[in-house]
Structure 1
Amino acid sequence: MVLVDRAGHSLGTAPKKSVHCQETPLHLAFSSYVFDSEGSVLLTRRADHKLTWPGVWTNSCCGHPLPGEALHEAVTRRLSYELGLKVSRIDLVLPTFAYRAVMANGIAEHELCPVYRVMVDAPARPNAEEVGAVRWMPWKEFADGVENGLLAVSPWCREQVPLLMELGADPLAWVPASTADLPPAARP
C-alpha cells in the first residue's frame, strides 16, 4: 500500500496486513460509485470475513492502488475482480476526499480516498471473497436514505454521499474533476 502524508505526497509503501490496525497510517485508496444508464447506483455488502467493516453495506467498490498504478486503473482492476464488471466510463468526482474511521474493536481506516463515478452496462457478478450481496437502488432514494439515517452504510460512504449530492441531483450529469486536483501520490 502507498503511504502518504497529509498533503498527499508518497512516503513509501507497506504491506496491506501491516497497515490496517489500531494505528493505521494514512494511505492511498479509492472509492467508486457504479451507475447504470437509469442513474441507479450499485451498492455492495462487504463480505462477512473482511477485516474492516465486515457485512456492512457500502458504495460499489473501494480499494487500494498498487505502487505505481494509476487510480483509474486500480478502480477498473478492482471492479473486475470484485464484481465482474467491465467499465464503460470512469470519471473522477471527488479528488481529495479523506477520512479516518475506527471500528468498535479499535481497527481503523485512515485513507486519502479519491472518489470515482463509473458507468457500466452489464449486471454484476460478485466475488464471494469480497462481496456478500449487491443491490441496485435509484440514486435519490439511496442518497436520501443515507442523509436521513434510514440506511446504515460504511462510515466513508456516509461522509461521501453529502459531498456527492453537492455535485447535483442527477449523478449522470456530475461534472468530472480534473486529475490535476488529485493528491501528488495519485497523479498519473
Structure 2
Amino acid sequence: MPTTPATAANSAPNGSADAPPEILLELVDESGNTIGTAEKLSAHQPPGQLHRAFSVFLFDEKGRLLLQQRALGKYHSPGVWSNTCCGHPYPAEGPFAAAARRTHEELGVSPTLLAEAGTVRYNHPDPASGLVEQEFNHLFVGLVQSPLRPDPEEVADTQFVTPQELAEQHAKDPFSAWFMTVLDAARPAIRELTGDTVGW
C-alpha cells in the first residue's frame, strides 16, 4: 500500500524498515457518522468495531461481473472469491475517492461511470481467520473498459461471470463472508447500470 498521510503519520514506533505501518480505519455509529479511528487489525478483532468500508462492482460490456480472488498472502479472508474490489477509506477520505483509488491499486484500472449504489450495514464473522466484519459499507457500481493489471500481492485471480456462472461458482468455491450481503444490496443499482440484460 502506498505511503499516505494516514499511514506515514502512524508508522511503527521502532522505525524498523520491515515493521508494517499502522493503518487507521474510520469508526462510525449506526447512522454512518464518524466517531473516531481504530487500527485496522484491532477493528476486526471479535466482537469487531463498526467502521466505514466500501465495495465496488464493475461490469464489462456484456453485463458480466468482475470477480477477484483475494491473494493468498492476505491476513483476512485469503484465497476466497469476492466482488471486484473492497476496502476501507482512510480517515477523512471520501468513500468514492477510496473506491476509485483502491480499484486502481489492486486491479490497475480506473472504473468508468462509477456511481454510488447505497449503503449496507452488516456483522459477518469469518470462521477461517477468527476476525469479524462490522462494517457500514458504501456500495459502488461501474464499468471496466481497459485491460486488467492486477497486483499479485492483492489479487490471486480474476474472472468475469454471468449470474448463472456466479451461482455455479458460488456453490463450489469459497467466497468472502460479506459477498452475498453486498451483492444483494447493490442489485437495484446493478440492474440499472446493466439494463438487467443478463438477469442480475
Q: CA 1:144–1:163 in structure 2 vs 1: closer, same or farther (change >3 Å)?
A: farther
Contact kept, 8 Å, 2:28 with 2:51, in 1: the verdict is yes
Contact kept, 8 Å, 2:112 with 2:142, in 1: the verdict is yes
For residues 112-137 of structure 1, give each alpha carbon's deviation from its aligned partner in whole angstroms, at most 9, with x where no partner exists.
00111021201211111111111111
TM-score, normalised with respect to structure 2: 0.77
Give the number of the structure with larger relative contact order, counting CA–CA contacts within 8 Å between residues 6 or more apart: 1
Q: Counterpart of 1:3?
A: 27
Q: CA 1:41–1:100 in structure 2 vs 1: closer, same or farther (change >3 Å)?
A: same
Say yes or no: does 1:163 pair with 2:190.
no
For residues 51-109 of structure 1, give each alpha carbon's deviation from its aligned partner in whole angstroms, at most 9, with x where no partner exists.
2211000000001111111111101100110000112210111x221111112242111
Q: Which runs of 5+ in 1 are unaligned?
A: 175-188
- What is the letter of the counterpart of residue 92 of structure 1? E
Q: Counterpart of 2:126?
A: 103
SS in 1 for 2:178: helix
TM-score, normalised with respect to structure 1: 0.81
How far has the Cα of 1:41 moved from its partner?
Answer: 1.0
Structural mapping, 1:38-187, within 5 Å: 38-93=62-117, 95-104=118-127, 105-138=129-162, 140-142=163-165, 144-145=167-168, 149=171, 152-166=174-188, 169=191, 171-173=193-195
SS in 2 for 1:115: strand
Q: CA 1:165–1:152 in structure 2 vs 1: closer, same or farther (change >3 Å)?
A: farther
How far has the Cα of 1:164 moved from its partner?
Answer: 3.5
Contact kept, 8 Å, 2:141 with 2:190, in 1: the verdict is no
Q: Which runs of 5+ in 2 are unaligned?
A: 1-24
Q: CA 1:103–1:84 in structure 2 vs 1: closer, same or farther (change >3 Å)?
A: same
| Cα RMSD (Å) | 2.2
Say yes or no: does 1:37 pair with 2:61.
yes
Contact kept, 8 Å, 1:143 with 1:165, in 2: the verdict is no
Say yes or no: does 1:24 pair with 2:51.
no
Choose 1 or 2 for highest CA Rg. Answer: 2
For residues 6-51 of structure 1, give each alpha carbon's deviation from its aligned partner in whole angstroms, at most 9, with x where no partner exists.
1211111122233221232000000011111211111001111212
